[in-house]
Structure 1
Amino acid sequence: MSSTWSRTVSRRTLCLLAAGGLALGVAACGDGDSGAQAGGKVKITVTGQPPTSQPFERSVFDADVKEFEAAHPNIDIDPHEGFMDPKTFSAKLAGGQLEDVYYVYFTDPAQIIARHQAADITEAAKSVPHINDIKPELLDNFRDANGKLYGLPTMNYTMGLLYSRPLFQKAGLDPDKPPQTWDEVREAAKKISALGNGVVGYADYSKNNQGGWHLTGWLYSMGGDIARKDGDKWVADFDNEKGRKALQYLHDMRWTDNSMGAKQLLEAQDVQRMMGAGQLGMYMAAPDNVPVLVKQFNGKYEDYGIAGMPGGQGTLLGGEGYMINPKASPEKVKAGLEWIQWKYLNPDRFEKHIQQYVEGKQPVGLPAEPTPDVWTGAVREQQLTLKAKYANVPAKNFQSYVDTTSKIKGSIEPPNAQQIYAALDSVMQAVLTDQNANIDQQLKSAASKVDSVLAQVK
């Protein structure tokens, strides 16, 4: 999910631009900090250290820092807790406080690149091991219009359908054959809600920008879109038949079938609580929801399955990665790339990383954990083989998702996504709370708002 960035370009960034490249920019504008320390070491600051409230993740990260430094005696890692705070990003960059290696969501790189807030790593990245084994569409998310590369993806997910296997069984549905179309979702939701006792067949989000986010998932699953390029500008692209079809499904499940429950204006935690309590049949989600259900809402891994996105014509793709401070010296860029590759994109450490999860009694066998789903070809096969070898959760429950995501197109969230989602929240809210909501009017009104948001995209 993305954020609005304030436009702040530092003097050093402008100097880099004028010089026409990273190395020349450092030579022409250098601030005297190459990152080198006594003894020829390079010190880099990096984000991504988990908070102390996540002791397992924190311990793995800190152990990795020590192991990396032992294997790279010329590099010192200075880890900083936390990930991305868009509200302070530009100010930190301008004030010289932004880390050398910093975390981003998939929705952020386009704006960061346009505002020259990341180093061009095109040449430096050519020496990164296995870079050609990363899914091209994920790398493309970190490229500019000229194909220059500004970051690396380190985690990827696509949306799917998370469902309760026990409720499927109770409703006479086969939990090993989850719905593949929205018609099948609708029929399954009716059967599940017919169980009574407050059980809801299907639930969806509709506030705090999460409703617009999920409506985007609906559109992608039907081969539609939220925004498209029209010449040199972006325009809304959902006030059409596919937009109406998605909202009509939601309307009919809510009001005709009564399979979505009376309580609406839900967000992620509400829906997760329902699923964890065994009161919900299905909802749209990525695989990372499963550990949340278990750890925070008393669920059991064996009770959940994940299917590929119904409709099969597309899915909302998200994830995260790392970019490098545009003020970084060539030495820091090189060291930063070595850290990113070794820590996050290292097939040679797949087995050790999985073993860390096993020893820490963490789940192995979920689609996105504990090694990232960013790979293609032989590396992906190596990854899947190792995860199957060490699986401690029923991986077969998620096989439908794994099979589907390798076949359907994943699309990145639209530009200025958070503002767009805010505009689309009202559409979801209207359809789910007002039986007589005018779908055409809602789409037209939202499209006008989204066009205004997209007009800000440079």
Structure 2
Amino acid sequence: MAGIQSRRRFIATGVACALTGALAACSGPSETGSENGVVTISVNGMPPKTQPVDRKYFEEDVKAFEKDHPKIRIDAREGQMDPKTFSAKLAGGQLEDVYYVYFTDPAGLIQRRQGADISQYVKDMPYYKDIKPEFLKVFTGPDGRLYGLPNGQYSLGLLYNRDLFKKAGLDPETPPATWDEVRAAAKKISALGDGTVGYADYSKNNQGGWHLTSWVYSMGGDIAAKKDGRWKAAFDSDAGRRALQTLHDMRWTDNTMGSRQLLQIEDVQKMMGAGKLGMYMAGPDNIPTIVKQFERKYEEYGVGAMPGQATLGGGNGFMFNPKASPEKIRAGIEWVQWKYLNPDRTEFEDKRAAGSDVPIGLPLDRLFTGQAETEQDAAHAKYANVPTKNYKPFVERNGEIEQKVEPPNAQQIYTVLDGVMQAVLTKKDADLGRLLKDAAKKVDGILATVK
């Protein structure tokens, strides 16, 4: 869901955090951003004061960067791209030179020419060729030009309770890789009794629609597809029907999802933290939340890749003010590469975080391939303080399945799909075909404004 948690925020806090607010800024730079040969760039993404460790690390990094780059000064601000105020900030000259976006943002920003073309500036950027192509694609326009850089990513998988797997006679080293295997495992876990639930899922506050999107992806389908230049709903399909049928059968035939429904993430995490849930759809970033909030141990949990053919992935990155001068864009790319896309700093970051009771070794933000990935993996392994073997099924298989991003106007679509999830999970006689058709009509209306 838009709002992913990057590894760097975990390194500083161990839990997800939203970056909001504003920081006291420096005096405004000149139009070119250069004064006496020194370029000042405004950047957002700075953690608020309510996250003191995270903020401290960020401030340390700004000082270190400026020391290494004496011709660049950083005007750091809190926050990220806010769709409600973005256009006004851009028109009023208040938009940062380097601004934080989610993977759902670039397509629209590129279409509206609200991001600078950085293609010519990244040719000599360190490790640029090692960034995974699928993440660069998010920031690539229809013209084939590049308009931004990634700095974090997530993929949904299957989080599970290893202790319950053992009690149910399941192998915790080999989590389910298909939905049929999930159903079979959920039956064995539910049979343990005492209120234990085999599998749980979300169905409200847009989280149900978010997860249903990944369900459809895993079945080989799409939520939206572009045809003849127009976006249309695509989930009234075989993949959509199989997703709903599987959910329906787990809920009503197998009785492995429990009687309590209309759940959201906090409810499901509480069930997992209480030791009463076998599996749910989530990314590895959920594990620290469960461990810290419910006083559990990392050893109790494992994570596997999404069952099926594909998974929903997302992430965040940075784009550049289209009004920024070439000097500012070059300086901004230097900052983003040094701070966020720098395998050479991974060991330093892990060592710095090692004394902060922060999990190191979770399979997060795997942005690189080749030597860069090897360097990062080695650093994480050296300072790992979590049982990395428990995440091996996720790491090994996640790279083999397709990673698909959220549909256009995702949050509006999720509101519609919430209703579909709720009906399937609360009405035994729900008409699955009718649910898909009615939802598709509503989503077609939502997509009608997308180009």
The CA distance in 2 between the partners of 1:198 and 1:100, in whole Å, is 53
| Cα shift readout 1:139-186 (whole Å, capped 9, x = no counterpart) | 011011111111001111111100111111222211111111111111
Match of 1:212 among 192, 209, 212: 209
The equivalent residue for 1:137 is 134
The CA distance in 1 between the partners of 2:152 and 2:296, in whole Å, is 24
The CA distance in 2 between the partners of 1:90 and 1:280, in whole Å, is 44
Superposed displacement of residue 231, structure 1: 1.6
The CA distance in 2 between the partners of 1:402 and 1:315, in whole Å, is 13
* Alignment coverage as a number of residue pairs: 426
Superposed displacement of residue 201, structure 1: 1.1
The equivalent residue for 1:422 is 415
The CA distance in 2 between the partners of 1:303 and 1:81, in whole Å, is 36
Say yes or no: does 1:322 pair with 2:293.
Answer: no
Contact 1:110 1:144 in 2 (8 A): yes
The CA distance in 2 between the partners of 1:297 and 1:427, in whole Å, is 31
Contact 1:277 1:298 in 2 (8 A): no
Query: Counterparts of 1:167-182 in structure 2 under 5 Å?
Result: 167-182=164-179
Contact 1:34 1:328 in 2 (8 A): yes
Q: SS state of the match for residue 123, structure 2?
A: helix
Say yes or no: does 1:451 pair with 2:447.
Answer: no
Superposed displacement of residue 93, structure 1: 1.7
Contact 1:154 1:320 in 2 (8 A): yes
The CA distance in 1 between the partners of 2:39 and 2:63, in whole Å, is 15
Superposed displacement of residue 223, structure 1: 1.3
Q: SS state of the match for residue 86, structure 1?
A: coil
Query: Counterparts of 1:141-152 in structure 2 under 5 Å?
Result: 141-152=138-149
Q: SS state of the match for residue 154, structure 2?
A: strand
Contact 2:221 2:239 in 1 (8 A): yes
Matched to 1:316, the amino acid is L
The equivalent residue for 1:360 is 356
Q: SS state of the match for residue 87, structure 1?
A: coil
Unaligned segments of structure 1, at least 5 residues: 4-30
Given the superposition, is the C-alpha separation of residues 84 and 264 from structure 1 closer, same or farther in structure 2, using an over 3 Å criterion? Answer: farther
Matched to 2:56, the amino acid is S
The CA distance in 2 between the partners of 1:347 and 1:154, in whole Å, is 12
| Cα shift readout 1:341-370 (whole Å, capped 9, x = no counterpart) | 0000011112111112213221111101xx
Superposed displacement of residue 47, structure 1: 1.1
The CA distance in 1 between the partners of 2:265 and 2:74, in whole Å, is 35
Superposed displacement of residue 252, structure 1: 0.9
Contact 2:2 2:314 in 1 (8 A): no
Contact 2:136 2:149 in 1 (8 A): yes
Say yes or no: does 1:53 pair with 2:50.
Answer: yes
Match of 1:263 among 260, 265, 289: 260
Match of 2:31 among 30, 33, 36: 33
Superposed displacement of residue 71, structure 1: 0.6
Unaligned segments of structure 2, at least 5 residues: 4-28
Say yes or no: does 1:290 pair with 2:287.
Answer: yes
The CA distance in 2 between the partners of 1:52 and 1:283, in whole Å, is 33
Match of 1:275 among 272, 282, 295: 272
The equivalent residue for 1:376 is 369
The equivalent residue for 2:10 is none
Contact 1:212 1:425 in 2 (8 A): yes
Q: SS state of the match for residue 77, structure 1?
A: strand
Match of 1:435 among 421, 428, 431: 428
Superposed displacement of residue 112, structure 1: 0.8
Contact 2:221 2:237 in 1 (8 A): no
The equivalent residue for 1:345 is 341
Matched to 1:407, the amino acid is E
The equivalent residue for 1:74 is 71
Contact 1:41 1:74 in 2 (8 A): yes
Match of 1:310 among 295, 301, 307: 307
The equivalent residue for 2:330 is 334
Q: Please tell me the root mean square deviation across aligned C-alpha atoms, in Å.
A: 1.5
Say yes or no: does 1:385 pair with 2:385.
Answer: no
The equivalent residue for 2:8 is none
The CA distance in 2 between the partners of 1:64 and 1:298, in whole Å, is 32
Q: SS state of the match for residue 372, structure 2?
A: helix
Superposed displacement of residue 2, structure 1: 5.0
Matched to 1:357, the amino acid is A
Q: SS state of the match for residue 194, structure 2?
A: coil
Match of 1:107 among 93, 104, 109: 104
The CA distance in 2 between the partners of 1:302 and 1:49, in whole Å, is 32
Given the superposition, is the C-alpha separation of residues 65 and 32 from structure 1 closer, same or farther in structure 2, using an over 3 Å criterion? Answer: closer
Contact 1:2 1:416 in 2 (8 A): no
The equivalent residue for 2:404 is 411
Q: SS state of the match for residue 151, structure 2?
A: strand
Sequence identity (%): 62
Matched to 1:109, the amino acid is P
Contact 1:100 1:336 in 2 (8 A): yes
Question: Which sits farther off after the overlay, 286-295 or 214-223?
Answer: 286-295
Q: SS state of the match for residue 367, structure 2?
A: coil
The equivalent residue for 1:401 is 394
Question: Which sits farther off after the overlay, 414-423 or 141-150?
Answer: 414-423
